[in-house]
Structure 1
Amino acid sequence: MEIKNTLSKSPVLAHYNAKLPLVLSVDSSAYGLGAVLPHKYNDGSERPISCASRTLNEAERNYSQIDKEALAIVFGVTKHHQYIYGRRFIIRSDHRALSYIFGKNKGIPQTAASRLQRYAVRLAAYNFDIEFVPSNKNCVADALSRLPLEYTKQVYEQDCYSYLNFVEDKLPVTFNQIKKNTRTDTQLNRIIGFVKFGWPDSLQIVNDKIYFSKKDSLFLEHGCLVWGYRVVIPSSLRATVLNELHSGHIGVVKMKQLARNYLWWEGLDADIERVCRDCSACASQRDQPPPAPLHSWAWPTEPWERLNIDFLGPFRNKYYLVIIDAHSKWLEVDNVSSTSAAAVIHSLRKIFARFGLPKSIVRPVRMDLHFHPQNI
């Protein structure tokens, strides 16, 4: 009470002056929001015009840290609307990512969470610059966020829901089903504990590390885990969701594009590819692979360099070994008693005795001959 009385009296508190620049400092803790609006004087000093704080409600406490910091900006701007609307001012936040997301140079990214997009639309009515300041230079707003006023339900409950109600129309399962199955999912229960009570410096379980990399964008809504603007589906409901995605036998690319608009889980892309690959209806309509190109043998530079051999028969109960020189097209035909390796070797010995040894012999794959001309 003594601090409150000091802040509300001179020389701490100053009167509003339309000719002096305004700076809105905001901050969020795990359970509260704080905002202070000071005038900036020519000598560099600052005196507050108004201070405000409030406690986060049950749903807001489940927000990710970036959403809490963004909510602090919206709270500070809304609370001091009468001072800042229609004139340029500066917003100070100790969350560096928001200086890029709400900054004028880059703007709100298309892949940002829907809650951040709604905040950006609300802030679009104001003319401001946003700058990052270290936490040790944002002490007043930080103190107010850690000693907030009691939460009043009728004023600040407007942004707690809405997103899951929208997504529910696009999914084959309701958010109540997702909430129920999330409670029985061991991994998601562990991640929810981290979201509620804080993340450790490192994770020992390998499968949890992908969630650790997304920790700034994970939050709880209606008991469901949400990453950015996509609902995290528990393992027991993934088959149902995949069947719905593939109900029209759409391809892999369209399934991934549709899924990325509403939902996510670890290995989603691989599961979509597996469903499309195992679908018999899709396989029957899939294009056949292109035929393999024909292999052309290099033209031999001299006679008896490469020989092509094969069997002819049975013709009138006899077999013939046919030998063709690839260079001169010289033909040699020898009657053999059988197609055994011993009979072929005996025939080739006679032919090689007349013409010499070739450099290579080309035979059909079906001939089970394991020899080299040098061994004949």
Structure 2
Amino acid sequence: MLEVGQIAPSRSPWASPIVLSPKKDGSLRFCVDYRKLNASTIRTAYPRPRVDDTLDSLREAKYISTLDLRSGYWQVEIDPDSRDKTAFITHRGLYEFLVTPFGLSNAPATFQRLMDTVLAGIKWQSCLVYIDDIIVFAPTSEQHVHDLSIVFDRLTNAGLTLNASKCDFCRRELKYIGHLITADGIKPDPGLVASVQLFPQTTKIKDIQSFLGLTGCYRKFIKDYAKMAEPLISQLRSQQKSKRPLNHIEWSDKCTKAFEELKTALTQVPILQTPNFNEAFILEIDACDYGLGAILIQEYDNQQFVIAYASRTQTAAERNYFPTEKEALAIYWVTKHFRPYLEGTMIYIRSDCRALQWLLDTKDSSGRLARWTISLSAFNIVDIKYKPGKINTNCDTLSRYSLFPHLTLLNTTSSPPLLNIWDNCTLFDDIRTEQYNDARLKPIVDILSNPTHPIHHKFHPPFILINGILYRYHSPPNNTHQRLTGMRHRLVIPKSLQSQILSWTHDHPTAGHGGREKTLYRLTNRVYWNTMRQDLIQYMRSCPSCQKYKYINLSLNAPLQMHIVQEPWHTIGVDIMGPFLVTQRQKQYLLVVVDYFTRWVELFTLRTTTSSDIAHILVDEIICRWGCPTYILSDNGPQFVSELFTNICSSFGIRNKTTSNYHPQTNMTERMNRNLKPMIAQYAQENAHSWDRHLSKLALSIRTSVNETTGDTPIYLNFGRDPKLLLDLLITNPGNNEPLLPTSVSTEVDTYKQYLRKNLLTAHRIAQEHNEVRKMQQKNIYDQHSSNRSFKEQLLWVSIPSVLKHGKLDPLYQGPCRIVQVLSPSYFIIHRLSGGVNLGATNIDRLKLFYSPNRHSNTLQRSTHDHQSVPALQPLMSVNVNDVKNTTTSHIPLNNHLTSPHSLIHSPRYQRPVRTRKQPNRLNL
């Protein structure tokens, strides 16, 4: 080296030791251990070609030659200013390199840049280069000779020499970077495959990692590689997560099977074809419980050829995905994996998941699905075809499951996406337009638009036009929940949009599929049409989701024990719901806390239900927020009777009371759970693993709903004011310009404190009185005998026994069903229409009427298109303007739809039953 001018004596302050590494031919390669020098070196970020890209370029290669440079690095001089850093120690002294040595971190990138420059213009077309290995290829012998001459000229001009003994010319097949390239395709190097067959079975972690690394180099040739290797990979992961990792794994029969299967698979690998980028690609994808798999295929002459296989195991988080999401994840992952093949080409995807096309096409996606959809938009995916598992033999067949596999239910189609407030931001403009198109509202708008009209005073008030929009003046009745909230006028809703408003106030998560009185309260404060109550009752009665998930209220015989509280957060009830399916955040349980006085609810998701978990939430979220309660009522769960929980309660002066065994109805939280469970289930139909997604919205729904016992909303009883809800943002109410408080109330803090104190005291007093009256009424009703119910030929829902349910979010009822035989007044033989299943003898307590979901919606739809062809539920008003022109104000001709000239003006106002109290003093400020 010294004689040929590759090294020179050095006085450098740097010094590295010498190492000798063996070559393929048995000779030794002189190297220097530059690890410490490399640690201080700024890396050059020059790309080297991917092996897969290099192999894919050899599609039309029939003649191949490989060229190897003689000591390629040593043909490149090193910068004089950097030579001292390459110094190395020998027994003869210190020397430094004049040419590029092996071992420098930037040497491969520098040499690759040199070769790319030398072969610029012909690389990828007739030759390939990977550092110092050059491949020249061509489809014909003549073309091959011509290409070789060009490469030789380029190397000569650059001053680079070849090692003739390591060059192969005009070969029909050759070994290149661990692969055997032939005219038929590409397969693994037989020599490396043979070394895998000799790999000994071992339990050492490093040896297992080496084995997986060696076989993983050829995973593109092995179908379902990740599935085969899963037992070994799982053992390695468990050791990594262990607090005391060992240097070996726990070997099992599954590990032995995986070890042998991988060896066998390498000996039976198919010959992969190189891709044709002028043709479309076919992706067959599949996802099982713990892995993802895909096959890249192209079709020529009605025959399919495999380009590559791909597979990987799923992460712990991905294993919690819903099956359809796993299929979507497989597409997202495999398009990234095969991106060099797929960019700019047409792609056809085949999957055994029917919902995949909708999942990727939906415009309402969010979260990770939205990110996947955006990523996939960069590819030209022509079609996603459903290929049943029986036919899709190229990918593993997945064991499909439904959320409720043991039942055949009425509504098996997917529910529409949840409403989004910003999807309806034009609702107010739509109402304005439809008011002028409505046959019953337009005459009123025309009359109010003309102050000189003869009957103008008959409509104003109660109706008023504000900015061209029809409102009805709202005079709150003497009910405590009707307050000075700025809602002085209610927007009149045209017939065509009434069903949309009903959907907003009943189906949206912030409405939570609430009950009749709660939903009617939301409507009457904001909007108006005179058949609103009847329409709402029909809409809710025919709601398929409510019929399927909500209990029927039955009268029971057991005497009711009274429990009266006097102030907020004096007594609270706690209970645990679950276990549910594990969510993305690894939550499985729900802790429900209810204040007995205000009916305020707090919801907390839990991973586990230990006493420590409950105690932390009690102290951090309840006591630190609301103060110490006097009583806590719970069931006899071990979390609530443990010594830790008892001591926590005692230290805060809280008396912990438990319900009777097997009679949890004593706890008010059980009733809250009964309402809350179907609310959660209804918004988790598409993905039961996301049951915690809408909990905050559902809690808002409960807190802003009027409680029938207290006569007020929980949020008002706690804070003395009502919040602005989502529906308020959609409907611009003119009353919003009025002050929220009476004009006599100052904005100063002290004045507001007095006002707020007076409001709360009044509200609490009224709520307490209502609570006592309601409790007595509930007791009288509860203690009565069950009412006699009879069914004739109606369709019915039948409750599902708890032993048949797989989880707490399963539907409560199945149907529709029909009575086929009467055994007694209370027992019937029931036949389910879907599937023709005989449900056997069924008690009357398990039955409730079935209401068709099409009744109300069809009526609304028909009346929207033709108000005359279908009788309305109850006409709002129909005025014949031509008949009105020549009349006096004392006599107004009307068409046959009306029996009273003032049916719109004097339509009955909604009055809550049992809410006949006088006006509260706090509303007269």
TM over 0.5: no
Higher-RCO chain (CA-CA 8 Å, sequence separation at least 6)? 1
Q: TM-score, normalised by structure 1?
A: 0.44
